[in-house]
Amino acid sequence: MRKLVLFAVPFALAVLSLYLFSAVHMLIGAGIGLLLFLITVRSKWRWRIQALIALAGLCLGFVYCAAYTQIFVQPVQQLDGQTCEAFALICDYPEPTQYGCRVAAEVPLEGRSVRTLLYLDTAGMDLKPGDRVQTRLELHRSDRTKSGEESLYYQAKGIRLIGYARGEAETVPASRVPLRLWPVLFSRALRDILAKAMPAGTAGLVQALLTGDRSGLSYAQMSDMKMAGVSHMIAISGMHVSILLGFFTLLTGRRRLLTALLGIPLVLFFVLATGASPSVVRAAVMQIIFLIAPLLWRENDPPTSLCAALLLLLLRNPYAIADLSLQLSFGSMAGILFATRPVYHWLAAHVVPKRWTKPLPEMLKLTKQERLLRCCKTLRRKAVFFVFASVSTTLGALIFTVPVIAIRLGTFSLYGVLSNLVILWAVSICFVGGAVTGLLAWLWLPLGQLAGWVVAWPVRYILWMAKLIAHVPFAQLTTRTPYLAIWLVVSYLVLIPAIRCRKVVIPTLGILAGLLLTVALTYFDGIPNEFRITALDVGQGQCICLQTPDFRAVYDCGGSNADFAGQHAAEHFLSTGQQRIDALILSHYDEDHIGGLPQLLYRVEVGRIYLSPYLDETGAHEAILQLAAAYDIPVTYVETEVTLPFSGGSLTIFPPPSQQNDNSSLAILFSCGKYDMLASGDMDRYDENLLLHQHLLPKTELYIAGHHGAKESSSEALLRTITPDCVLISVGTNRYGQPSEEALLRFAALGAAVYRTDQNGDISIER
């Protein structure tokens, strides 16, 4: 009986109460669990012992979470909004931000050391682990942004506070770096030496594999791996720990005691050097138990060791259960334990020729030619079984992680199994080869560069194959349409029982047929009958997608997260098999309107870019021209009214009415049949009045609120002229007070229906 499994799973379920209930409610839940425990003790139920263990895990989970909240979380959260003098210990290397840098630090507060993310000016980029910074900090809760938006990202990583430096920061260089920070220094040194040893464009992948740092990878490389379904290989996980320990086991000659004595410290150091993410901690705990079990004359039980790792992580930080890497790591391992063996046995039993299972004749009785033939057949057999093992392991890893990815990220990689089959074999070579390259480069750089030249070839293969698969139509589906969600639910209801019964032929064929139907429905869903206007939820920014059966355009592409805005816009089209946009219109050069351009242009073909003739002074215009030249996209400056006709209507682009400020924008009028839509960018009322005098605007059914609903836009004069029936406001959490109460009152006076992306998500209007 796996007692730890029975205890850990209810404990983890109780931890979820952190996000649903207060400490008082958790204690009430513990009391109810205790009552059920006492009732079960006196029962004669067959499964009484198992039920008692599970109830004990549930009760202790509630009590632990309540105590953790009261002792460690609430005292720190009470510092929210306060300003204090702090003497912080820097724990990592700084990362650049738009206005300076940020770095993880330990700040002494309330008699304890609190993990805090510091935001400093550009001078902070010179900091190193072990240095101390004395400054005045404005503190905010890490589970809530300054604008009030809730987020569990930092809490899941153990960061309790966000600190913003107010005033000058005084740096005290480290005289002695604490021992616990040595792995961080080693990781940085390894990244630096790999950058010198590896050829250009290849060091980033090896650095990610060995240290978990992905800053050396370009957006294009990251995007390709995500689209191809192999981005997990650059997130330090059990695969990396297994490769490391497997290679080390070969070096020790498979001596158990020697491997355990030297391998366990090596694994622990690797965990610390790569940031101790939940995925690598899980793998380390399981590998350590695997090494120790034979020495203690005990059998290693993977489900038990998996639950031991889960308990360790949740005891350290219950909020870690919200971490995506933890969910994917434990989900993939659980799927491997659940499904890999049945799938592999089925493949071996039904696909392998019967003659392969018969024992080979003794090699000495064969001629030289027959022995050579037998060797070839043996290699072929091993290759086939290697494919079987790769396919079954990949399917096992995906069985529980696909729903998590679909829910958390809203995507599904259609060719994930194929990508893993053709790419992951090269990851081991790159990992081991990268480690050897780093060692040789440390001893003598030219020797390391020679090794790096060799390792660069499998790196190039991985990047090339990921790019090839990523650009195949429907490489990634999204949950924007209901078909993928329906297919996933039906597939799991059919597949999981089939795997356990090892009768998977008919269910698998049915699932594949359902997938083809899902792709077909998704493709046809992407083609509207007349038109589709979609305001994408990109946070504080704007991205409007316009589609007809034969025409596609995008008006602006930016938001509070520029990378996400570009990805979201690209996936809006790619998820339905549409890989080309006819026109990209950028209203003006503010970051929240153009920030996602690099990501969009990389993933989607664009016919022409339309720009304002009034250039900016920030360099954004030059950056756009460089991107357009890189992708061979023609650029048109809209100085007079431009009309783009399509079947059933037209898209009219109006030049900026003036050049009085940076918000002077291109406006568009989308007309299809008797339906009209006006979008005016960030125009203020002065430019709106000029627009009314310079152009004849019709009455419109839809208006995209100017400047995200700011009070100086969407003037009464404009609204009286176009009298929209519906208003869409593209807005996110912000500190500008948008949409303003004044603009909302003007919309209400018209009787127009108002929809907001911060409340409604993506908003589509279709006919």
Asked if residues 663 and 588 have their Cβ atoms less than 8 Å apart, the reply is yes
Under a CB-based contact definition with an 8 Å cutoff, are residues 455 and 216 in contact? no
Q: Which amino acid is at 742?
A: E
Write out pLDDT tens, residues 195-213.
999 998 899 999 998 988 8
Encoded tokens for 72: 């460690």
The owner of tokens 């202790």 is: 60
Question: Amino acid identity of 16?
Answer: L
pLDDT at 667: 92
- Write the pLDDT tens digit of every residue in 164-175: 988 888 888 888
Q: How far apart are the first and last CA of the chain?
A: 59
Share of the chain above pLDDT 70, in %: 93
| 3-class secondary-structure state, position 561 | coil
**Cis amide leading into 739 (omega within 30):** yes
Residue 113 dihedral angles phi and psi, to the nearest 5° = -90, 120
| Strand-pair partners of 161 | 116, 141
Give the per-residue pLDDT at 382.
67
With a cut of 50, say whether residue 369 has pLDDT above it. yes
Q: Strand ranges (DSSP E) for 338-475? A: 411-413
What does the angle CA 593 – CA 595 – CA 597 come to, to the nearest 5 degrees? 100
* Inter-helix orientation angle 324-335/368-408, to 10°: 140
Query: Helix (H, G, I), strand (E, B), or coil: what is residue 551?
Result: strand
Omega within 30 of 0 (cis) for the link into 178: no
By the 10 Å C-beta count (0-12 exposed, 13-18 middle, 19+ buried), 538 is classed as: buried
Q: Give mean pLDDT, residues 658-681.
A: 87
Q: How confident is the model at residue 361, as a pLDDT?
A: 45
Q: Tens digit of pLDDT for each residue in 615-657?
A: 777 788 888 999 999 999 999 999 899 999 999 899 999 999 8
pLDDT at residue 365, rounded to an integer = 47
Confidence of residue 364 (pLDDT cuts 50, 70, 90): very low
Backbone angles phi, psi at 159, to 5 degrees: -90, 120
pLDDT in tens, 735-764: 788 898 999 999 998 888 999 998 888 899
362 burial via Cβ count (<10 Å: 0-12, 13-18, 19+): exposed
Mode of pairing for the β-strands spanning 532-535 and 649-654 = unpaired
Tokens of 86: 């702090």
Percent of the chain with pLDDT over 90: 25
Task: Please say if the pLDDT value at position 662 is more than 80.
Answer: no
Of the two residues 90 and 244, the one the predictor is more confident about is 90
Confidence of residue 353 (pLDDT cuts 50, 70, 90): low
Tokens of 579: 């890989």
Rounded to an integer, the average pLDDT of 352-366 is: 48
How do 83-90 and 132-141 pair as beta strands? antiparallel
- Which range has the worst mean pLDDT, 72-81, 310-319, 346-355? 346-355
In tens, the pLDDT along 270-294 reads 888 888 888 888 888 888 888 888 7
Residue 360's pLDDT is 43
Q: What's the chain's average pLDDT?
A: 85
Task: Give the Cα-Cα-Cα angle 564, 569, 572 (nearest 5 degrees).
Answer: 120
| pLDDT single digits (tens) 210-265 | 988 888 888 888 888 888 888 888 877 777 888 888 878 877 877 778 888 888 88
Please report which residue ranges of 409-478 form alpha helices under DSSP H.
416-443, 445-470
CA 345 – CA 452 distance, rounded (Å):
39
How confident is the model over 550-567, as pLDDT tens digits?
A: 999 999 998 888 788 888
Residue 762 has φ and ψ, to the nearest 5°, of: -65, 135
Q: Which residue has the tokens 């316009």?
A: 546
Contact 321, 293 (CB under 8 A): no
DSSP character at residue 305: H
Contact 695, 666 (CB under 8 A): no
Q: Given CA atoms 630, 636, 637, 638 in this order, what sign does their dihedral have?
A: negative
Average pLDDT over every residue of 669-696: 90
Identify which of 47, 64, 73 has the alpha carbon closest to the alpha carbon of residue 10.
64
The 3-state DSSP composition of the chain as helix, strand, coil percent (nearest 5) reads 55, 15, 30
More confident residue, 228 or 453: 453
Is pLDDT above 80 for 376? Answer: no
Say if CB 161 and CB 146 are below 8 A apart. Answer: no
Measure the CA–CA gap between 68 and 58, rounded to whole angstroms. 15
Of residues 621 and 44, more confidence is placed in 621
Residue 149's pLDDT is: 54
Is beta strand 702-704 parallel, antiparallel or unpaired with respect to 675-679? parallel
Q: How far apart are CA 291 and CA 264, in angstroms?
A: 8
Pairing of strands 476-478, 95-96: unpaired
Mean pLDDT for 397-415 is 81
CA–CA gap between residue 430 and residue 432 (Å, rounded) = 6
pLDDT higher than 90, residue 22 = no
Distance CA 618, CA 697 (A): 32
> For the purposes of burial, counting CB atoms within 10 Å of the CB of 706, is it exposed (0-12), middle (13-18) or buried (19 or more)?
buried
Nearest Cα neighbor of 131 from 142, 139, 120 is 120
pLDDT bracket for residue 359 (50, 70, 90):
very low
Residue 46 confidence (pLDDT): 77
pLDDT at 405 over 50: yes
pLDDT of 370 strictly over 70? no
Say which residues have a Cβ less than 8 Å from residue 100's Cβ, sequence separation at least 6: 119, 120, 121, 122, 123, 124, 125
